Structure 1
Amino acid sequence: MTRLKVTVPASSANLGPGFDTLGLALALHDVVEVLVTDSGLKIEVFDAGAGDVTDVPTDETHLVARVLRAACERLGVSLPGLHLRCFNAIPHARGLGSSASAIVSGVAAAYSLAGRPLDAEAVHIAAEFEGHADNAAASLLGGLVVAWSSGGRFHAERLTPHASIRPLVAVPALRSSTEATRGLLPEQVSHSDAAFTASRAALAVHALTTNPDLLLAATEDRLHQHYRAPAYPATARLVADLRAAGVAATVSGAGPTVLALTTDGIIPASVDVEGFEVTELPVDSAGVQVTAG
């Protein structure tokens, strides 16, 4: 029997203006122990989602199992039976890429079982399940990613963030969902808002990799965050308060977690963070790691 241990980082997507394009891997990790067996399926879930089958099912619909089987089929790997032990540190439905990390776990395990190194096709397979590549690519590749789609295929390029950047996350008890918050976005935006956000997205790449002094301006957005604000007013308030205090704060992914891109790891004392658990999460540079069980 084959045993694998898959360790995959959380991720924060968008980073302000980079909607469905920019992603950052963060050092908070889910761990999936994979055992290939002769037959059947057994799934054990620990920590986030444990005991709640509506949140994390323990049958064939479990996301890691579903992705692992589908990816193995695409890679020509036989998978007769499966035993998964999932240790979930990434909070669910908080905008820290929990579903993308599960998808990447399945894809990475399948590649390991196939004896293949992760490649551009792995990014595409993972992003197909997620619907966009920013979270999945960040968890897969580590560091900072720029993701895009072209001709029905997903792509991503890994960049190295500036060494001085110290991300903080402020996680509330409130849950959210990408599907629900995407429903708040308009079908069209003005040309001026599109041009403004495009300029900031380009600047964000420069600020994140070369000049963090520009992060506050570089994380401004007119494309999505203010439309989603009614879904999580406390999150919107905290983002606004942090930015007023000079901190480059954004909504992490679809929210409701707040991401603060700092160089000192400090939230100003004047900012009220009641209702949020604030944690410093360094950038994860390695991406998903697979080792023998």
Structure 2
Amino acid sequence: MIDEAGNTIARQEHAIRMADLDRAGMSDWLARICADISGQRDANEPVWLAGMIGSPLGWAEAGRVSCPATPEDLRRRLQHHQVGDIPVVIVPGLACLSRFGDRDMLRGEEVGALGALELHPGQRILLLSAPGMHGKWIELGKDAIQSFHTAMTVELATIISEHSILASHLEKPPADDETFRDAVVRGMEGGGLARLIFSVRAAILAGRIAPAQAASQLWGLLIGAEIRELNTEDHDCVLLSGSHPIVELYCSALSLRGVRAILLDRDSAAWGFMRLRV
């Protein structure tokens, strides 16, 4: 919850999967959240929502705005609905043709991107938004979201740690240590990712690394391969937003490319909602 100045005055976090909720479940959850802040909330003020709530799995399809997209472009496509007796505004997602020539899309990360524009006005920004399984590298400039591309690095690491031949070795979380940083360099050098991933198992069997270091090596290889494709030279700053243990690994990896990244706090999205509300 944010006040008129954009300051966060209340926060709740719940592990809820949109795919697990029907419309009654969505309505119940929103009513429960609003009841907890009823003493602070103006009942006439709509609740602003972004992400999968605006997808076909959510409350109402909010569509996607094509990039480049300005705050005004998104504002024109806001969806106004009623969830139970609570008025809501649903922010549309984005679609683009990435610099690799791929069609791409996102939902939810556009709000944090607008917050980054608000906090760093006039700058050319490369923003990694990694709140979950899929990281979005978002290019910002000229007061607009210019383009983005998606990397499934977190999901790949999760699948490998749960379902691959490496699973029994990946019980400990990755650490920003020498094993991780050496693997980042290897990932940035290129080569087949399938081969590099198997090299983690070979390194364990050969005694090159301990099983406890396996996750660090795997994550280093995956992140190194991901950031190898980045074009950081055309941006004034690189910002990272998302799960802190993950973005801290990215921050360390980017430093090996000579890039100083800035970690955004989790309240930066509030500024994105404020930008749309104006």
Shared fold, TM over 0.5: no
Between 1 and 2, higher relative CO (CA 8 Å, sep ≥ 6) is seen in 1
Instruction: Give the TM interval when normalised to the shorter protein.
Output: under 0.3
TM-score, normalised by the number of residues in structure 2: 0.24
User: Which has a greater percent of strand?
Assistant: 1
